[in-house]
Amino acid sequence: MAQLAGSELLFAGALVYFAVEASGTSDSATKPAANNSAWKELFAVQSFKHKPVKVSSEDDIVTAEGWGQEINEFSVADDFEITSKRATDLFRQLQMGLAGAITHGTAQSPFVTSDRKLRGWIKIQERKHTGTDHSLLDAWIEIRVMDTPDIKKGVQEFKFTCRVVRPFSTLNAYNLPA
């Protein structure tokens, strides 16, 4: 018997980039080029997890052998959880409900947005320990703060959740390099 295609022992991490929504340069119809300065790295990513949102139903069915049960499960949304050990302006903007990007040295009004999310493009490079890419994903998403860390002695972890909001966009891309 043959192994499934792509079988390999994988020791990997992730590089994650985010390009905030901006009309005409980074919107649902326009993905920034790979070398565009709109891409900002979400540094020191500790974990990255794909968590599809699923619904299921169990139905009693009649088979040739008698009664049975059929379980149907459907993925209705694609979420990702990202944990980083670096505080960023993106995290603070979402956490504090600021109306716009942070301007350092200028007081801004906190808690003015109740729907604390940003839309934009996410670029995820799953990187193997060899320094080469295992997979590449670009998707149009909404990003939110998941958990605010306790302020305590020690390194804090900052958690985001992302949801793909244009799942059928032709600009979304998943690639397993050759």
Residue-wise pLDDT for 114-169, tens only, equals 999 999 999 999 998 888 899 999 999 999 999 888 888 888 889 999 999 998 99
> Is there a domain that residue 7 lies in?
no
**Does residue 38 fall inside a structural domain?**
yes
In the chain the beta strands, taken as DSSP E runs, fall at 12-20, 40-42, 45-63, 66-84, 118-128, 133-147, 158-164, 173-175
Amino acid 9: pLDDT: 75
pLDDT in tens, 17-52: 999 999 888 899 999 998 999 999 988 899 999 999
What are the C-alpha distances in Å from 121 to residues 52, 65, 94?
A: 18, 51, 16
Is residue 4 included in any domain, yes or no?
Answer: no
Q: How many domains does the chain have?
A: 1
Q: Which domain holds residue 70?
A: 12-175
Out of 54-58, 59-63, 64-68, the most confident range is 54-58
